[in-house]
């Protein structure tokens, strides 16, 4: 958030002084990143709250909801900046100043480093919100690269190419909108309890099958709730064992699954009789 604040101020001021609307648009996008990061930070803090009487499954849904809010904010920003970019293209103005290129070089390098760092954390904890915030940095790097190309063309081409930076701003808006859609989809999937991808589903099944007394796993459902996972299973056991033994096996299945991954918050095991051999 601090980096985005510095860059937003530098780009907007540089764009105003250097007659480069693409730099102003890029600065506004950085300013929106500050608000986006704040929303995601708040969403993560709320999602980290433990379960209570009104939210027995925890508050994890706050995380993808925060990501959805940020994604819609990005799409709204893309629409607003597109309208202003078209106005700038149709309005005669002075060409951009050369010093604006130096600002963009610094932004591109720092933002790409931030993207790789934050995205690595988001993938490690499988946080949709954190990965959303990471792509804000990549989006900023891409729009800054587009701005660099547009301003360079305007400077090299001379008076006939003064609107090149505005066309670059239009391209930057398309990139921002594409990233908004990219960020929105996984957050909506998580809110809709879409089955998670990756090894987590196989780990749950394999752990259940490894428990003595389990003959087969008939059903296995896993859903993501914030940074945690919840699993529901139907396991088959010998139909002639006692209720007490079936209850013991269910607890052993739950423990085995939770030991495979610390992010699995709870497991619901339904015992079913297996066909006689």
Same fold, 2-191 and 200-274: no
Alpha carbon distances (Å) from 48 to 34, 44, 89, 227: 21, 6, 47, 8
Are the beta carbons of 201 and 238 closer than 8 angstroms? no
Q: Spell out the domain ranges in the chain.
A: 2-191, 200-274
Select from 23, 1, 12 the least CA-distant residue to 143: 23
By the 8 A CB rule, do 3 and 144 touch?
A: no
For 141, the token pair is: 């790097």
Contact 264, 229 (CB under 8 A): yes
Residue 216 near residue 243 (C-beta atoms within 8 A): no
Report pTM: 0.66
User: Mind listing the pLDDT tens digit for each residue in 78-100?
Assistant: 887 788 777 767 765 566 778 87
Four-way CATH pick for 200-274: 3.40.50.150, 3.20.20.80, 3.40.50.970, 3.30.70.1350: 3.30.70.1350
Report, as an integer, the average pLDDT of 117-128.
83
pLDDT digits 0-9 by tens, 11-37: 888 888 877 766 777 777 777 778 878
**Which positions ≥6 away from 228 have C-beta within 8 Å?**
58, 60, 263, 264, 265
CATH of 2-191, one of 1.20.1510.10, 1.20.1070.10, 1.20.120.530, 3.40.50.9100: 1.20.1510.10
E strands within the chain? 214-225, 228-238, 264-274
pLDDT digits (tens, 9 = 90+) for 157-184: 766 666 676 777 777 778 778 878 877 8
């Amino acid at each position: 958030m601090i980096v985005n604040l510095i860059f937003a101020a530098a780009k907007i001021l540089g764009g105003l002084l250097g007659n480069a609307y693409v730099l102003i648009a890029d600065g506004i996008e950085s300013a929106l990143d500050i608000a986006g990061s704040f929303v995601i930070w708040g969403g993560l803090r709320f999602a980290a709250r433990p379960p209570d009487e009104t939210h027995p499954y925890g508050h994890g849904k706050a995380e993808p909801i925060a990501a959805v809010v940020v994604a819609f904010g990005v799409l709204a920003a893309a629409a607003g900046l597109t309208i202003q970019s078209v106005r700038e293209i149709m309005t005669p103005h002075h060409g951009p100043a050369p010093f604006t290129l130096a600002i963009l070089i610094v932004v591109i390098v720092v933002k790409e480093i931030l993207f790789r760092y934050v995205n690595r954390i988001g993938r490690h904890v499988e946080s949709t919100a954190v990965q959303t915030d990471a792509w804000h940095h990549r989006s900023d790097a891409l729009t800054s690269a587009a701005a660099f190309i547009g301003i360079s063309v305007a400077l090299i081409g001379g008076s006939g190419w003064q609107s090149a930076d505005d066309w670059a701003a239009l391209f930057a808006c398309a990139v921002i909108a594409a990233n908004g859609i990219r960020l929105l989809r996984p957050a909506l999937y998580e809110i809709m309890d879409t089955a998670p991808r990756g090894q987590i589903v196989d780990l749950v099944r394999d752990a259940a099958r490894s428990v003595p007394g389990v003959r087969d796993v008939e059903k296995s459902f896993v859903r993501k709730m914030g940074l945690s996972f919840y699993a529901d299973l139907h396991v088959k056991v010998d139909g002639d064992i006692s209720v007490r033994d079936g209850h013991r096996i269910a607890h052993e299945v739950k423990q085995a699954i939770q030991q495979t991954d610390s992010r699995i918050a709870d497991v619901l095991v339904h015992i079913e009789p297996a066909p006689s051999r």
